[in-house]
Structure 1
Amino acid sequence: MATPVPFSEPPWLLGLPSPIYKETHRKWQAAIRPFIEEHLHSHAREWERAETVPDHVFGDFAKANMLIPALPAPLPVAWLKRLGIHELLGGVKVEEFDYLHSLIFADEMARSGLAGPGGSLTTGVAFGVPPILKFGNKQLQEKYLPELLKGEKRSCIAITEPDAGSDVANITTTAVKSKCGKFYIVNGTKKWITNGIWTDYSSMAVRTGPEGSGGAGLSMLVVPLKNTPGVSMRRLKVAGQISAGTTYIELDDVKVPVENLIGQEGMGMRYIMTNFNHERLTIAVGTTRQARVALSAAFEYVLKREAFGKPLMDQPVVRHRLAKAGALLESQSAWVEQFAYQMTQLKKDDADRELGGLTGLLKAQAGIVLKEAADTAVLLFGGNGFTRSGQGEIAEMIYREVPGTRIPGGSEDVMLDLAVRQLVKLYKAKTQALEAGSKL
């Protein structure tokens, strides 16, 4: 077995001690890596160049219950057991699956260095299904969850619009009740919707309140997309992650049964914000792995590439670049692991309160680290890193994906600001609680 290239794996997978991973986590990682390598990573570059992943791959993952781990932990145990799903690969019982298992899954799914192929399979499951699970009533869950959890149908999350990206409160897609009261009539557009082009059902943010009502006027609906009258979809050509199926959706008088309301009218903003926490953590994990792939590829290259009569690694400036990016990478990796561990120890409400803002900061920092690692890789590969083939191809491909990690799930500058605002809010609330307690 070859010696791992420095920075190519997180320390716990290099045999170094870790206080957070248990035997169940190690078995999980050892079980899923060969499956993901065979069914995804061995073809990832080819599929990204072709700009699509073959339809059968989604089915292959579904049959192996390898879409389920994309859901937020803890898993919907009652639903899974009802569907006959009691264990995942490696013998992990569905009731034992925690956020460290989730971290390992997201990390392994990104080991090709490319977010598109893996994202084409898991994005809809990870972010489109949870609103139904968390907030949908029994009737809605019975209607959609069996097909979605078994991978017989596909889902997506549809929030972003041409004029409302990170500014979720300004969504303009409307859902107005029909005169008969049996339907919502949906009109508007959604843009940059990952997986949308293949999607049967979307968990969609819509405006049910009056214009100008901001976040208080938002709701969420399950809106059928594929083969639905009034719905038109087309692929968007983006710089990276092309195979993930970024989609533009137009909705023209689309009739949606009122029973498809997720939770309560006017509560959409809360549902969206809660859902973002899992999305941002998942993005942070995958992005951190992409940074590993970029930096370790560059490290391996400069060990053998010669210039000015000696290997590039003998140049102090080269070592400096690797060290700078490596320090950022390992710090980010440790923070991601710490975050996932904290999620395993906190109750859901406590985690949302204590970590909600920090999740945005974690995601933003992951993008910053990836940019540094991708810049380093391209510069050290030189002309090869600027070429869409050959030894530097992976560096060039990852470089194009950097904006796709810094913008979705909340743009970087918005996340940095959100994190501090949330920390201030939490600090003031705790201070007020202490002051109130001291007066008793």
Structure 2
Amino acid sequence: MSSVLFLEEEHEMLRDQVRRFVEEEIKPQADAWEEDGHVPRAVLRRMGELGFFGIRYPEQYGGAGMDTRATVVLAEKLGRSTYGGVAITALVHTDMASVHLFNAGSAAQRDAHMPGVISGETICAVAITEPGAGSDVKGIRTTARRRGDTFVLNGSKMFITNGVLADLYCVAAKTGPEDMPGKNVTMFLVEKGTQGLKVATQLDKHGWRSSDTAELVFEDCEVPAANILGEEGRGFYAIMRNFQNERLVIGAMAMGEAQAALDLTLEHVKTRQAFGAPLWQKQAIRQRMAMLSARVAAARQFIYAVAKRDADGEDVVREVSMIKALCGELVNEVVYDCQQFHGGSGLMRGMAIERMARDVRVQAVGGGATEVMLEEVAKRL
């Protein structure tokens, strides 16, 4: 189903390019990546070569300089691959981690790292979440204490996507007193191999199996003061700023997953025989799928409309929070019913719908839990 109302020719060309990549280079190989627990670096470099990692970044760094709609196209099409772990590996790099470098980085920091980020040679992770602080960013406990021209980081980060294999980490740490919430967090660039940074555990997850996810530990990790991203004490605002982009991306990815689940289930129910006829002949099934299809189509149009408004410079904080809450819940509802319509086969490992049922559960949690998003919406009603 096209969203041509909100897209221009360059966005449609990107849709076709990502669609081909998914069909030709992700789907034939991604089962192996699920077993390995990560996406191969050669594949990520290939995505960089195709321009997927630079669609929103300026040409001076090797990017394409496109707008928010391009991000949504990429996220939706990667979501349609049915491999959530592959999709989130790429999207964290492009739209949740490297954006901190681009938005807040100095000219020297950008010049040093952005070309590699866009080419896929430098993979990024963002380290904000902690064992005791997820959606509550002000609750982080990792500290960064100044020591001359360096900062010494101590603490731990949890559920860090790309945490094992990343080359560059955007890390949030407290640099001020506890009684200054919102004004005591600073973002730092920490490079792989920095003494005092270690991957404590590669986490064994329910879903997103092909996405490497880690617990990171900082033990007297010395980082040059020159590695501060933006201004000292302004990290909380940088995190909040990027949450809007992250949540829009997750919503688009979720609707790509929802549409893929509907497509493969439609094929199943039209061929699966039960009680002497295809399941599609059962009114309850076809009407339920019709309603789910309508709701997914509506949500997708909402996403593209908000992406267009964001590209035009409008304030869409309320709408993005709506999208994150709506789509995170809707994709779970869609995949639950689609798995039900697959019957026993839908519970078998190796079936796309079984994998998707595990993958999509996190969409109502990661990037801001549904309950938190609804509070953000309520504040703005």
TM-score when scaled to structure 1? 0.82
- Partner of 1:149 in structure 2? 118
Amino acid at match of 2:46: D
Matches within 5 A, 1:183-262: 183-224=150-191, 226-233=192-199, 234-262=201-229
CA–CA separation in structure 1 for the residues paired with 2:59 and 2:41: 28
Q: Contact 1:215–1:269 (CA<8 Å) still a contact in 2?
A: yes
CA–CA separation in structure 2 for the residues paired with 1:319 and 1:39: 33
CA deviation digits over 1:103-147, x for unaligned, max 9?
Answer: 222222222112101322341232211112111222332333233
CA–CA separation in structure 2 for the residues paired with 1:360 and 1:49: 34
Q: Contact 2:160–2:214 (CA<8 Å) still a contact in 1?
A: yes
Q: Which moved more, 1:404-413 or 1:38-47?
A: 38-47
Amino acid at match of 2:41: D
Matches within 5 A, 1:398-413: 398-413=356-371
Matches within 5 A, 1:87-98: 94-95=64-65, 97-98=66-67
Secondary structure in structure 1 of the residue aligned to 2:207: coil
Would you say 1:417 and 2:378 are equivalent positions? no
CA–CA separation in structure 1 for the residues paired with 2:60 and 2:38: 34
Q: Contact 1:41–1:111 (CA<8 Å) still a contact in 2?
A: no
Q: Contact 1:209–1:216 (CA<8 Å) still a contact in 2?
A: yes
Structure with more relative contact order (C-alpha pairs < 8 Å, separation 6 or more):
2
CA–CA separation in structure 2 for the residues paired with 1:78 and 1:124: 19
Secondary structure in structure 2 of the residue aligned to 1:211: coil
CA–CA separation in structure 1 for the residues paired with 2:285 and 2:81: 24
Provide closer, same or farther for how the CA distance between residues 122 and 334 of structure 1 changes in structure 2, counting only shifts above 3 A: closer
Provide closer, same or farther for how the CA distance between residues 380 and 246 of structure 1 changes in structure 2, counting only shifts above 3 A: same
- Partner of 1:377 in structure 2? 338
CA–CA separation in structure 2 for the residues paired with 1:76 and 1:212: 39
CA–CA separation in structure 2 for the residues paired with 1:259 and 1:303: 60
CA–CA separation in structure 2 for the residues paired with 1:169 and 1:368: 25
Q: Contact 1:192–1:246 (CA<8 Å) still a contact in 2?
A: yes
Q: Contact 2:45–2:119 (CA<8 Å) still a contact in 1?
A: no
Identical-pair percentage: 28
Q: Contact 1:291–1:373 (CA<8 Å) still a contact in 2?
A: yes
- Partner of 1:427 in structure 2? none
Q: Contact 1:125–1:154 (CA<8 Å) still a contact in 2?
A: no
CA–CA separation in structure 1 for the residues paired with 2:116 and 2:274: 57
Q: Contact 1:371–1:402 (CA<8 Å) still a contact in 2?
A: yes
Q: Contact 2:151–2:225 (CA<8 Å) still a contact in 1?
A: yes
Q: Which moved more, 1:271-280 or 1:356-365?
A: 356-365
- Partner of 2:355 in structure 1? 397
Secondary structure in structure 2 of the residue aligned to 1:219: strand
Provide closer, same or farther for how the CA distance between residues 264 and 199 of structure 1 changes in structure 2, counting only shifts above 3 A: same
C-alpha deviation, 1:356, in angstroms = 1.3
Q: Which moved more, 1:127-136 or 1:188-197?
A: 127-136
- Partner of 1:388 in structure 2? 349
Secondary structure in structure 2 of the residue aligned to 1:213: coil
Q: 2:245 aligns with which of 278, 286, 290?
A: 278
Amino acid at match of 1:301: H
CA–CA separation in structure 2 for the residues paired with 1:110 and 1:21: 18
Q: 1:169 aligns with which of 116, 138, 143?
A: 138
- Partner of 2:279 in structure 1? 312
- Partner of 2:95 in structure 1? 126
Gaps of 5+ in 2: none
Amino acid at match of 2:40: P
Q: Contact 1:295–1:376 (CA<8 Å) still a contact in 2?
A: no
- Partner of 1:35 in structure 2? 21
Amino acid at match of 2:27: H
CA–CA separation in structure 1 for the residues paired with 2:59 and 2:154: 36
CA–CA separation in structure 1 for the residues paired with 2:184 and 2:142: 11
C-alpha deviation, 1:35, in angstroms = 2.9
CA–CA separation in structure 1 for the residues paired with 2:90 and 2:186: 26
C-alpha deviation, 1:293, in angstroms = 1.0
CA–CA separation in structure 1 for the residues paired with 2:118 and 2:81: 26
- Partner of 2:58 in structure 1? 76
- Partner of 1:103 in structure 2? 72
Query: Quick check: which has more Rg, 1 or 2?
Result: 1
How many residue pairs were aligned?
A: 380
Gaps of 5+ in 1: 1-9, 13-17, 86-93, 425-440
Q: Contact 2:97–2:126 (CA<8 Å) still a contact in 1?
A: yes
C-alpha deviation, 1:27, in angstroms = 2.5
Amino acid at match of 2:271: K
Q: Contact 1:241–1:401 (CA<8 Å) still a contact in 2?
A: yes
CA deviation digits over 1:173-206, x for unaligned, max 9?
Answer: 000001xx11100000000010011112111111
- Partner of 2:129 in structure 1? 160
Provide closer, same or farther for how the CA distance between residues 371 and 63 of structure 1 changes in structure 2, counting only shifts above 3 A: same
Q: 1:355 aligns with which of 316, 321, 325?
A: 316
Secondary structure in structure 2 of the residue aligned to 1:242: coil
Q: Report the aligned-residue RMSD.
A: 1.7
Q: Contact 2:322–2:374 (CA<8 Å) still a contact in 1?
A: yes
Provide closer, same or farther for how the CA distance between residues 64 and 402 of structure 1 changes in structure 2, counting only shifts above 3 A: closer
Amino acid at match of 2:11: H
Amino acid at match of 1:359: V
